Amino acid sequence: MSTNFQLDTATSRANPTPAPMRRLTIPALRRRKADGKVTEPIVMLTAYTARQAQLLDSHCDMLLVGDSLGQVIYGLPSTLPVTLDMMANHAAAVVRGSYHAVVVVDMPFGSYEASPQQAFASAARLMEESGAAAVKLEGGIAMAETVEFLTQRGIPVMGHVGLTPQAVNVLGGYGARGRSDAEAEKIVSDAKALEQAGAFSIVVEGVVEPIAIAITQAVPCPIIGIGASSQCDGQVLVTEDMLGMFERVPRFVKRYSNMAESISAAAETYASEVRDRSFPSQDQTYPSK
């Protein structure tokens, strides 16, 4: 899939297309954290479509094409069935719809765990087909060799520790991690190992707050929290959760809107007008000459 494709603003619903500007870069985001502190917290949200990217882009430093699209877009029971094809296609749409934020794309389950060489082939394909700037993968110390292999070959990597959804079957569910001393120590060690291997940033998900704070203070690269702590170097949420598109959301989500209610109400009004024949009116039909 070519990322050179441009939306035709004369015919596309994605009109108007924003004026081009310089896109943020991985090194620029990495430099935001110096001497253990960020100059400005990093804002990150998920995006899966071109139009969604257009609406979020000017407000975000990073857009994550998350494998959460398996549940949010495709109605799958978990992220595990998500494929490289899905990720590449949605990431390309997000790149086309954005011009400012760094676009990071998740590597789906089974596409990188077998070996560094497998991970490189998968990451290279994702970046080539989408134009994304970086990939994200889950796992700590076990994935450090892979992270180093990728970064040494020109592929920026974002890490992900704590609650790692692709390991839900091993973890036994989506509960908060790090409640035991042993697990807390491992999560901190995982984050340190990823940074030392070359990760430019690390997502810390679903951990008890003291662990998130400890990682943020101990690890030189930016730490992005989700269900972690406001003291992290940045935050990420699934956009549909933040917009109130679902009835059930994790504890760590704050709803900034209730889009599900608005959409349902609009559909109800539309259905009523269709049934009573008040839509379409003269404003929505073409008169004869």
Domain ranges of the chain: 26-259
Q: Are 56 and 47 within 8 A, CB to CB?
A: yes
Q: Is 136 annotated as a binding residue?
A: yes
Burial class (CB in 10 A: 0-12, 13-18, 19+), 240: buried
C-alpha to C-alpha distance for 44 and 64, rounded to whole angstroms: 7
Digit-coded pLDDT (tens) for 202-251 = 999 999 999 999 999 999 999 999 999 999 999 999 999 999 999 988 88
Arithmetic mean of pLDDT over the chain: 92
Does 8 score more than 90 pLDDT?
Answer: no
C-alpha to C-alpha distance for 263 and 249, rounded to whole angstroms: 18
Give me 203's structure tokens: 């997502």
C-alpha to C-alpha distance for 194 and 165, rounded to whole angstroms: 18
Q: Is 241 annotated as a binding residue?
A: no
Question: What is the topology classification, in CATH, of domain 26-259?
Answer: TIM Barrel (3.20.20)
Q: Is 68 annotated as a binding residue?
A: yes
- Average the pLDDT over 265-289 and give the result: 96
Digit-coded pLDDT (tens) for 172-214 = 666 677 689 999 999 999 999 999 999 999 999 999 999 999 9
Of the candidates 148, 195, 205, 240, the residue annotated as catalytic is 205
Question: What proportion of the chain, given as a percentage, has pLDDT over 70?
Answer: 89
Q: Are 65 and 48 within 8 A, CB to CB?
A: yes
205 is catalytic: yes
Does 283 score more than 90 pLDDT?
Answer: yes
